[in-house]
Amino acid sequence: MAVVLSLRLLLSADTKRPSSSSFPKSLKFDKRTKTSVSTPRKGNFNPSHKTQKVNLEISPHRAVSAVRLMRIEMGGAFADLLNEKGKGSGENEMGYVGRTLGFRTRDLEDRDLRLVTDIVGGTIRWKRYLDHLISSLCNDGNTFARMEPLLLQILRIGFYEIVKLDMPPYAVVDENVRLAKVALRHGAGNLVNAILRKLVLLMETDSLPLPKLEGDDRAQARALATLHSHPVWMVRRWTKHLGQEEAIRLMMWNNSDPSFSLRANSGKGLSRADLVTKLNVLKVPHELSSHLNDFVRMKTGLQLVIQAGLLKEGLCSVQDESAGLVVSVVDPQPGESIIDCCAAPGGKTLYMASLLSGQGMVYAVDINEGRLRILKETAKLHQVDGVITNVHSDIRTFSDNNSTECDKVLLDAPCSGLGVLSKRADLRWNRKLEDMEQLKSLQDELLDAASLLVKPGGVLVYSTCSIDPEENEERIATFLLRHPEFQIDPVGRYVPPEFVTEQGFYFSNPVKHSLDGAFAARLARAL
């Protein structure tokens, strides 16, 4: 469900991009800084597509991937959107190609869509690594620095297909050259040809120009950042906290294909056994979660689940087990009152509500009205709206103005998301080191506000989808200094022992548990 929720969020975000009048109908990209892409509109929205040129020589997945990558880089699209789309997504994507490049290709088939998903996600993840190779193979530094955006995306796609997807190299060269010639101009095609052929030769002699892991810590961090395609600051941080070997394993996890979990929605009367039957009919390979009764894990087949309408009908949600285990830490019981302080888009609220068996109340507070609206609609769809009250507010104002005290309070705080980089392909490039300080002081403020809403004898759960100790253990340590009325309630009674840290916190480690990274502390307020 989180996926469906975010899809809807993303689509609504898409529609809020600058008006189409500011963009030409189709364009050639001159300078990287001046690039624009045509503005998305809702639905199958390109009435003029029948009159647009159709170029059957260009492979649809490459044209769509190139345009999609351009849009992501411009902030006009989200990297994981394609994972989330069902019927009609091919037509929408081709609409963007038509308006951006001025021609369409043949329609996308399901296989093409899967390729687009792989190529877009992979090209984004491997951006630093690919750019290192591309710039090394350009004749001079200026060629790369001044490369127009569409040309760069075509080259990245070609490099990714050859180096990481192991696709037949000369077919990749031909197809990407053709795309550059048709979408840009003849000379661009020649450049793509020259650079990709150099790459193929280097691959054949196993002599890619990659940095060596040598020199001082900084030099090694830079080399690792290129070899595993992450920002240098993340590598330095993880090397410091985890050691180099573990940091490398983490980066390898972040670069691997994400797996997904589905939660059977008991609120709608669907048991996990019912969900398994449906997945078997769809021939989606899956396994039962060994940690959570309502969850199944799957590596592939999400598109099939979406196309079959299971998410749209509210029968199940896409939710990582690591998030489900945070709810286990809260341990909602029928009859309880629970405040979810940062609730939207509602993954945890909805799961908690489904565990209340119709008795009790989850107050879902969020500062973001749009996201909260989605939570409200999904709660209705999931038939758990009877036990959810939506509150649009900043939790700091809410706790100042309300004397409410509840049995349990969940603060699923805004965080760096460093635990979910395998699912969020572009997040590593958007997150900056400076964000960490701001996030930490926001987390402290939200913790203080949330603590006021816990009744004496009640429980406060602080959680993040970060693996960074400064956002996790450190925030709790400083909170406990400010709030001696709280103490750690070890989570061993609520989650399997492999997730319990020495201090009694819940921690899912992507490398160790093959789940997203997540943290939760359960804090009991004195009577």
Ligand X SMILES: C[S@@+](CC[C@H](N)C(=O)[O-])C[C@H]1O[C@@H](n2cnc3c(N)ncnc32)[C@H](O)[C@@H]1O
User: What amino acid positions are annotated as catalytic residues?
Assistant: 465
Beta carbon of residue 216, minimum distance to ligand X (angstroms, whole number): 37
Q: Is residue 8 involved in binding ligand X (CB under 6 A)?
A: no
* C-beta contacts of 265-273 below 8 A and 24+ residues apart: 265/1, 265/314, 265/315, 265/316, 265/317, 265/350, 265/354, 265/382, 266/294, 266/354, 267/350, 267/353, 267/354, 267/382, 267/383, 267/384, 268/314, 268/315, 268/382, 268/383, 270/315, 270/316, 272/296
Q: SS3 for 369?
A: helix
Given candidates 345, 360, 458, 517, which one binds ligand X under the rule CB under 6 A?
345
> Prior bond to 345 cis, omega within 30?
yes
Q: Point out which span in 64-72, 92-100, 268-276, 393-401 binds ligand X (CB under 6 A).
A: 393-401
Q: Point out which span in 207-215, 236-244, 278-286, 388-396 binds ligand X (CB under 6 A).
A: 388-396
Residue type, 54: V
Given candidates 236, 348, 423, 431, which one binds ligand X under the rule CB under 6 A?
348
Q: Distance of CA 245 to CAs 128, 176, 273, Å?
A: 20, 37, 40
456 burial class (0-12, 13-18, 19+ CB within 10 angstroms)? exposed
The candidate with the shortest Cα–Cα distance to 4, out of 386, 369, 374, is 374
3-state secondary structure 415-437: CCCCCCCCCCCCHHHHCCHHHHH
Q: Is residue 343 involved in binding ligand X (CB under 6 A)?
A: yes
Query: Smaller CB distance to ligand X: residue 126 or 295?
Result: 295
Scan residues 240-269 and list those touching ligand X (CB under 6 A): none
Residues 6+ away with beta carbon under 8 Å from 62: 119, 154, 157, 175, 176, 179
Query: Smaller CB distance to ligand X: residue 221 or 420?
Result: 420
Beta carbon of residue 374, minimum distance to ligand X (angstroms, whole number): 10
Q: Point out which span in 91-99, 389-397, 399-407, 492-500 binds ligand X (CB under 6 A).
A: 389-397
Beta carbon of residue 317, minimum distance to ligand X (angstroms, whole number): 10
Q: Is residue 342 involved in binding ligand X (CB under 6 A)?
A: yes
412 is in an annotated binding site: yes
The candidate with the shortest Cα–Cα distance to 268, out of 346, 351, 339, is 351
| Sign of the torsion formed by the C-alpha atoms of 281, 284, 289 and 294 | negative
Beta carbon of residue 162, minimum distance to ligand X (angstroms, whole number): 37
231 burial class (0-12, 13-18, 19+ CB within 10 angstroms)? middle
468 is in an annotated binding site: no
Question: Which residue of the chain is nearest ligand X when measured via CB?
Answer: 342
| Sign of the torsion formed by the C-alpha atoms of 278, 281, 284 and 287 | positive
Q: Distance of CA 145 to CAs 3, 101, 109, 134, 135, Å?
A: 36, 23, 35, 11, 8
Residue with tokens 């929408």: 92
Query: Smaller CB distance to ligand X: residue 162 or 311?
Result: 311
Query: Smaller CB distance to ligand X: residue 199 or 302?
Result: 302
User: Are the beta carbons of 228 and 256 closer than 8 angstroms?
Assistant: no
409: β partners: 339, 460
Q: Is residue 347 involved in binding ligand X (CB under 6 A)?
A: yes
Beta carbon of residue 362, minimum distance to ligand X (angstroms, whole number): 11
Given candidates 134, 147, 338, 365, which one binds ligand X under the rule CB under 6 A?
365
Query: Smaller CB distance to ligand X: residue 49 or 392?
Result: 392
- Output phi, psi for 164, to 5 deg: -105, -30
Given candidates 112, 366, 489, 516, which one binds ligand X under the rule CB under 6 A?
366
Q: Point out which span in 36-44, 248-256, 362-370, 400-408 binds ligand X (CB under 6 A).
A: 362-370
Binding mask 298-337 for ligand X (x = CB under 6 A): -------------------------x--------------
525: β partners: 486
Residue with tokens 């993880």: 238
Cβ count within 10 A of residue 470: 16
Q: Is residue 461 involved in binding ligand X (CB under 6 A)?
A: no
Binding mask 395-434 for ligand X (x = CB under 6 A): xx---------------x-x--------------------
Q: Is residue 64 involved in binding ligand X (CB under 6 A)?
A: no
Beta carbon of residue 326, minimum distance to ligand X (angstroms, whole number): 8
Given candidates 69, 344, 461, 518, which one binds ligand X under the rule CB under 6 A?
344
Q: Is residue 367 involved in binding ligand X (CB under 6 A)?
A: yes
The candidate with the shortest Cα–Cα distance to 68, out of 109, 40, 41, 43, is 40
Query: Smaller CB distance to ligand X: residue 10 or 367?
Result: 367
348 is in an annotated binding site: yes
Residue with tokens 């509150």: 391
Beta carbon of residue 299, minimum distance to ligand X (angstroms, whole number): 23
Given candidates 377, 394, 470, 474, which one binds ligand X under the rule CB under 6 A?
394
Which residues are annotated as part of the binding site? 342-348, 366, 394, 412
Binding residue numbers for S-adenosyl-L-methionine: 342-348, 366, 394, 412
Binding site for ligand X (CB under 6 A): 323, 342-348, 365-368, 371, 394-396, 412, 414, 446
